[in-house]
Structure 1
Amino acid sequence: MKTSFKGILPILLSIFLVVSCSRKKDKFINRNFHAVTAEFNTLYNGYNALEEGRSSLNEAYFDNYWEVLPIERMQVFEDMVLPGQSKNESFSRAEEKATKTIQKHSMNIGGKEKNPQIDEAYLLLGKARYFDQRFIPALEAFNYILYKYPASDKINQAKVWREKANIRLDNDELAIKNLKRLLEQEELEKQDLADATSILAQAYLNTKSIDSAITQLEIASNATKSNDERGRYRFIQGQLYNELGYKDSANIAFDKVIELNRKTPRIYMITAYLEKIKNFDYENGNKLEASELLTELEENRENRPFLDKIYHQIGTFHLNNNSDSLAVAYYNKSLRTNSRDKFLKAKNYEILGDMNFDTSVYAEAGKYYDSTMINLELNSKPYRVIKRKRDNLEDVIYYEAIASTNDSILNLVNLSETERVAYFDSFIEKLKIKAEEEKEKAQAAERNSGLVTVNNTIGGPTQRAGAPNQAALFYFYNPTTVAYGKNEFVKTWGDRALEDDWRWSSKGVVGGTDNASVTADNLIASASDEEKFDPQFYISKIPSTEKEIDSISKDRNYAYYQLGLIYKEKFKEYELSKSKFENLLNSNPEERLILPSKYNLYKIYELLGENDEATIAKNDIISTYPESRYATILKNPELVSDKDENSPESLYEALYIQYQNQEYEDVISKSKNYINTFDGEPIVPKFELLKAIAIGRLYGYEAYGKAINNLAVTYANTLEGKQAQNIESNILPKLASKEFIAENDSVTNNYKVVFQFKNINLEEVANFQKTLDEVLENIRYYKLTSSIDVYNPETTFVIVHGLKTGTVARTFDQLLTKEDNKKIKTPYFVVTSTNYQIIQIHKNLDAYLNLDNN
């Protein structure tokens, strides 16, 4: 009997399972079997996967406390995801479980869903898609719940999540409308109320309705069960009050965050303290109390992960109290924490740069601005602001480097032999100390490399028997190898900036001219071990010939002049500018720099209110240079205007008009005169560029290349000099080819008929063009025009444009009537537009005419 029962029991259980597994019967057993299986199997696993994905999102997300925080911690990526792909496998798995629940456990009988867990499955499906940033499919899932399950206990959650998806799709107005209706029609409580009001606050934030957002966050903070959310909502409230300028209300909100203490993430509490310090009243507040609070935050061991922010705020506190040295120390401390917050690092560098800028230490300021830009998003607004500052410093850093280097060289030139030996003895002592330190570092590195080798051998691949013992370190990590490589590079190439096209000859020594290239670093790099510690080696490198010394002195004086102009015009640093011009005038400058320097000094004395000095400078200019433009200006200031016909600007405009009229010889000649007349003034590079272009148009590629190279080297840090560098690097190589292109109607549809005139005046050429234009008007079926082009000083072209085929162009005379043919007797040749451009660039007309094209 027992045996027969054991055999029947499995059969009965199988029949029970088969009957209960049916999704077509609306029976108690069927409904509960599928509900329980769905809830405790697929949905349970699906929600576990969802929570796993959310945790990874939160861990990866980095809040930017420099801006108002978003309500929800989720980074939205702009990159597209193809169908079937997922940004996170956990969400993909959660979606798969939700889909499986719907497919295997849905009991849609008579148009009604009998399984109470299916609405939960659709909610899971929508959430998984939402966090996977597929917002439109997520919206479809939430809408399906609202459409199919209006009586579901999840209906309010579905409505809230639908509006979250709408907000992510930038449908903020629709979300506000739907959420307000939900709050009016339903009595939401606890977490549902917190979710609805918090997401409504986000919609208000997106539409810049800050007051309404604060109100909804207050409701959400009181309703939520999660202290994590409460701390975040209170902190955002404080940020919003700060945006509105209500510092007292902001501090109350931050105090509520601080009261939560360990119940909420510590970052909220620490940042709340720091935000309160930012709101500190430096005129009426208790500075001792604020200082003690910052010290307490700094010394608390639990705050070590947040020292980057704490040090920065302490630095700002000291800066506002005019304790600059303490501020610098703490900003540097903040930087040494290796913070993940790139904007914080950028802020530290920017403040340090501004402090150096305000004290006129422009070279150091430039370095800090460079570091600032590295930590900012490329081409963002903050990046562009800093880049503009840095660009303004480019010239002053460049010329300060030249002035400093050449001053040092000239000081050595003026020392006696005994003084030189004493100077270099002191220099070599420092060099020996530095060499000893580097030797100790190298020995320590070798010892460490041995340890690394041992560690790598243990548990790693065994070394081949008999093979030499090789260092495990990558060779770039070996300081000896790196030092050798640096020395070899400097010996071969000199000290060159890290930039594109660094091997071009125009890319000289960083921060100096050719005369200043013999710097200590270069000499040390090129010296042997014996020479390196021999004073006579360095003394032998000091310039000794009059030509070398004069060249260095001229470069130094020109740098002084440029610095004087930059400090005066760009930075309004009149004292600095005055010192540069005075140093220049005391350094036996070239004649061309004396007068403009004296005039600029006169203007600076006026601006500084030093009237006696201004009067002396004015009288000196008028008496010493009575015929100069400056003397005219000083004697008759009321007659001078910005558009004075003799001003550099007016002369340049007139010369440019001549260039447009192809009067290239005049442009070149006058440019040379104006460059000498206005030497040292900012407009000179403009004349140089105009002259270079005119030379190119008149004499061709090679002459143009030389003129552009001269401009790029001589005026490297001006706008025109940089333009010339770009032409030299990027445009000239594209124009270098002299090869003519085969003339074929299938290749081109633009031909020119060219009439050539040699050694005749422009009036005759103009008369011929006038006759030609009359003839062209009589030609039927073709719309032709003419122009005059200068080829070289002896040759001028008259061009006919508008011919589309070579055959028609070569039989141009056959298009004319008999009467018109008699008027046009000058011979012509035909050329394609491309080949005509090559002829004008390289001035190789004879080479073209020798081809079999005409």
Structure 2
Amino acid sequence: MAGGLLSCSQYSNKPLSKAYHNLTAHYNAYIIARDRLNEAETILFKTRQDNYNQILPIFLPVDSVASQPVKAQLDDAIKKASLIAERHQNSKWLDNAFVIIGKARLQKQQFDDAMEVFKYVNTRGTDGADKHQALIGLMRAYIATGDYSNGLNVADYLRAQPLNKQNTRDYYLTKAYLHQKKGEYAVAAAILDATFPMLKKSENTARLHLIAGQLYDAVNQPAKAAEHFSAVLHTRPTYDQSFYANIYLVQSQGLAKDGKKAAQATHTFNRMLEDRKNADLQDKIYYTMGLVEARRGNIDKAVAYYRKSIQTTTTNTAQIPYTYLELGKLYFEQKKDYVRARMYYDSSLALLPAQTPQYTEVTNRKKLLDEFVEYYSTIRTQDSLQRLAQMNPAALDKFLDDVIAKREQQSRNQAALAQQAANRSGNANNALATTSDLQPNERWYLYNPVRISQGRQEFMQRWGNRPLEDNWRRSTKEAAPALAGDNNPLTGANPANAINPAPAITTNPDPNAGTSGLTTSTKAQKDVLYAQLPLTRDAMEQSRFRMETAYYGLGKLYKFQLNQPADAVSTFEEMLNRFPNSGYKPEAYYLLHLSNEQLGRASGWKEKLLTEFPNSSYARLAGRSAEGAPSANAEIRAQQVYTDIYALYKAGNLTESMVQVQSALTTFAGTHIEDKLALLRVMLIGRVDGADAYRQALAEFVRDYPTSSLVPHVKELQSVADGPTAKRK
């Protein structure tokens, strides 16, 4: 009896022992573990949420939240597979068990453990096919962690290995996924093409054909994309897959230059809209029609279709942020209406999932548009306030009465609407506990993203982008836009064309004039409105400074971030016209010169800069851009001049040193020693003009010579110069 037990030891290589452990490992552990893992993967696939507004991922992304419903299956698969490692060491199923453990841990986002298991199978495994399977799993783990370099190394190794049919299929799919994650869509699509002959007709194959079509469409190969969209319809797709395949196929036809195909596409879209089975997908159809018109260049038609998409949204609320995003792009890139574009980007960002690939790009553009609207509204608001401040006192008083009356009427209208809503709620007995009074397609406001987004837009149009805080509507908050009347900061096209110079300041009106008969509340409101007006000379100067700064910021925004040199020119010219003594004049001259140069237009701004501000850093920048590469003789002369000026500086002859260094910076612009001359000028400014001018000169050096090897030293000097100031603050 003891001999029989020993012969069945998991460490024995005798035929009887191996046969026993192969049998028990296979039926008592491996099959159960494999089936549990397959069950988990099937559930994850069936419950996936495909976002057809994006290129679908070839593999479902590893997500610990999504894997929670199958945690029991994954844990059971690991437990059963671990029995083979614990009790059946001499079984031929040992490598397979480790592969199952690695795959299950990968689904649970235990990446380090999964990699360790896959590497163990590759180094200690005995079966070549199992080792290849482990390496394919290792590729998946590297992709999941964003380590594409190591993923490619493994792929290059496997490419030279004799893979069986199953591993070849999995290898192709994994490599295609790797290139998709890297943004190499053409390569990913080509690898998928090589994979399809190894796949059977199924929902997953239909999904892969759809992905291949999306990838080819992204690299502007519509013919190949259409082939795969057609193939989806012949590989047992779900209704959603067939619907979107048809949508993409018709979209490709709609973009064709052939007028007959384009007309056929429009007819197909209309037929899809009339199909009752597509009642809850009409928003997607209109959205696709908008995409087609936008690509054709029919911007107004595209906008109309996008708006219809939003209006017809019922259950597919995930579509809304992408529709808003396309509207924002059209207004930003095509119409150049940045105010309206900002509203659509804001609405999109409010509903766009944070894991969306373009989320960061959308966020950055939204910040840019926020900055634009801030400058734009400041100009419009301050201009309106300045105009009001110049009005006849009696006319101004009447105007404010009208503003208050209009506000009170709006409040009464809102109160009436609220009362109607309350009455409807009372008739329903318990509006929060039941929705029986709602229409079949109506949803409670706070459960309807469309209504929420629309309400948010209306709020921002009226009140602006206010922070979430208590008492946001108090009268002490900034009320300037409300005084502007029709000059709403969110209307109009170009502030440089919309604003005219304000007249001279007049005598301050009497805040109490014409207020007899007003209620205390009305008088208090009027006092608050008067407080917003620049009625004193100091207040007017502050208002004008805010406007000047906004013009300056808006001009730079047009020039550098929006790449609209013509708008930059008109904005800077308007700034100089309204503020001829602006402190931003040297930089404005320089940017006007660059903008006109970009437009291919001749202008005299460079000459004005060199004439009026010859010693400014902008004059040196303008002079440097006009010169070619300095000759060897110029470099030698520059070095000699620097030595001479430095000797004067050391001797204490500061005035003469300053004159010569200013001249040398213009004469030897572009030489290797220019930054040393500029730093010597900074030191002279510190000795001659004092601490404030010195700090400004240091900042200009860092701005004008960002690649200079002297920048670290200059930053140290800045720290020393700012130290006492920081302590005083």
TM category (shorter chain) comes to 0.5 to 0.7
1:205–1:640 CA distance, 2 compared to 1 (3 A): closer
> What's the counterpart of residue 439 of structure 1?
415
> What's the counterpart of residue 415 of structure 1?
391
1:416–1:94 CA distance, 2 compared to 1 (3 A): same
Q: For the Cα contact (< 8 Å) 1:126–1:138, is it kept in 2?
A: yes
Q: For the Cα contact (< 8 Å) 2:139–2:155, is it kept in 1?
A: yes
| RMSD over equivalenced CA pairs, Å | 6.4
> What's the counterpart of residue 168 of structure 1?
140
> How does 1:30-429 map onto structure 2 within 5 Å?
49-50=36-37, 52-59=39-46, 61-63=48-50, 69-72=56-59, 74-77=60-63, 88-96=71-79, 135=114, 162=134, 164-169=136-141, 170=151, 171-178=154-161, 180-183=162-165, 197=169, 199-203=171-175, 206=178, 210=188, 213-221=191-199, 224=200, 226-239=201-214, 241-242=216-217, 246-260=221-235, 263-277=236-250, 279-280=252-253, 281-285=255-259, 286-303=261-278, 309-331=284-306, 337=313, 345=321, 348-349=324-325, 352-353=328-329, 355-356=331-332, 358-366=334-342, 368-369=344-345, 382=358, 385=361, 389=365, 396-417=372-393, 419-420=395-396, 423-424=399-400, 426-429=402-405
Distance in 1 (CA, whole Å) between partners of 2:588 and 2:189 is 59
Q: Deviations over 1:384-431 (max 9, x none)?
A: 655665565565444322211111102212333564356445534542
Structure 2 spans left out of the alignment, 5+ residues: 1-7, 10-18, 142-150, 435-451, 457-465, 481-504, 506-517, 628-661, 705-712
2:240 maps to a residue whose letter is I
> What's the counterpart of residue 555 of structure 1?
546
> How does 1:440-839 map onto structure 2 within 5 Å?
440=416, 442-443=418-419, 486-487=470-471, 490=474, 530-531=521-522, 538=529, 542-564=533-555, 566-568=557-559, 571=562, 573-581=564-572, 583-584=574-575, 587=578, 589-590=580-581, 629=614, 641=626, 645=664, 656-657=679-680, 663=686, 666-668=689-691, 670=693, 697=720, 701=724, 703-704=725-726
What TM-score, normalized by structure 1, do the two folds share? 0.51
Based on CA coordinates, which of the two structures has the bigger radius of gyration?
1
Q: For the Cα contact (< 8 Å) 1:166–1:174, is it kept in 2?
A: no
Q: For the Cα contact (< 8 Å) 2:320–2:348, is it kept in 1?
A: no
1:559 maps to a residue whose letter is A
1:581 Cα deviation from its structure 2 partner:
4.6
Q: For the Cα contact (< 8 Å) 2:479–2:532, is it kept in 1?
A: no
1:338 Cα deviation from its structure 2 partner:
9.4
Distance in 1 (CA, whole Å) between partners of 2:718 and 2:207 is 68
> What's the counterpart of residue 466 of structure 1?
none
Q: For the Cα contact (< 8 Å) 1:655–1:667, is it kept in 2?
A: no
> Which has the larger displacement, 351-360 or 137-146?
137-146
Q: For the Cα contact (< 8 Å) 1:564–1:580, is it kept in 2?
A: yes
Q: For the Cα contact (< 8 Å) 1:349–1:368, is it kept in 2?
A: yes
Q: Deviations over 1:272-323 (max 9, x none)?
A: 2343355443433532222233344445444466556544322211222333
What percentage of residue pairs aligned between the two structures are identical?
18
Distance in 1 (CA, whole Å) between partners of 2:264 and 2:44 is 39
1:452–1:416 CA distance, 2 compared to 1 (3 A): same
Q: Deviations over 1:523-571 (max 9, x none)?
A: xxxx998328976874675443333334323432453355445535654
Q: For the Cα contact (< 8 Å) 1:63–1:69, is it kept in 2?
A: yes
1:167–1:538 CA distance, 2 compared to 1 (3 A): closer
Q: For the Cα contact (< 8 Å) 1:312–1:334, is it kept in 2?
A: yes
What TM-score, normalized by structure 2, do the two folds share? 0.58
1:573–1:536 CA distance, 2 compared to 1 (3 A): same
Q: Deviations over 1:409-455 (max 9, x none)?
A: 02212333564356445534542343134324544675688799958
Q: Deviations over 1:232-265 (max 9, x none)?
A: 23324434544665432321221121345xx322
Distance in 2 (CA, whole Å) between partners of 1:338 and 1:645 is 71
Structure 1 spans left out of the alignment, 5+ residues: 1-22, 25-30, 184-192, 459-476, 497-514, 516-526, 684-689, 707-731, 733-854
Partner SS state of residue 233, structure 2: helix
Partner SS state of residue 283, structure 1: coil
2:40 maps to a residue whose letter is G
Q: For the Cα contact (< 8 Å) 2:685–2:697, is it kept in 1?
A: no
1:284 maps to a residue whose letter is D
1:54–1:417 CA distance, 2 compared to 1 (3 A): same
1:216–1:412 CA distance, 2 compared to 1 (3 A): same
Distance in 2 (CA, whole Å) between partners of 1:662 and 1:596 is 20
1:411 maps to a residue whose letter is R
Q: Deviations over 1:562-597 (max 9, x none)?
A: 544553565454543454355445547547678987
Distance in 2 (CA, whole Å) between partners of 1:175 and 1:452 is 68
2:331 maps to a residue whose letter is M
Number of residues of Structure 1 aligned to a counterpart in Structure 2: 577
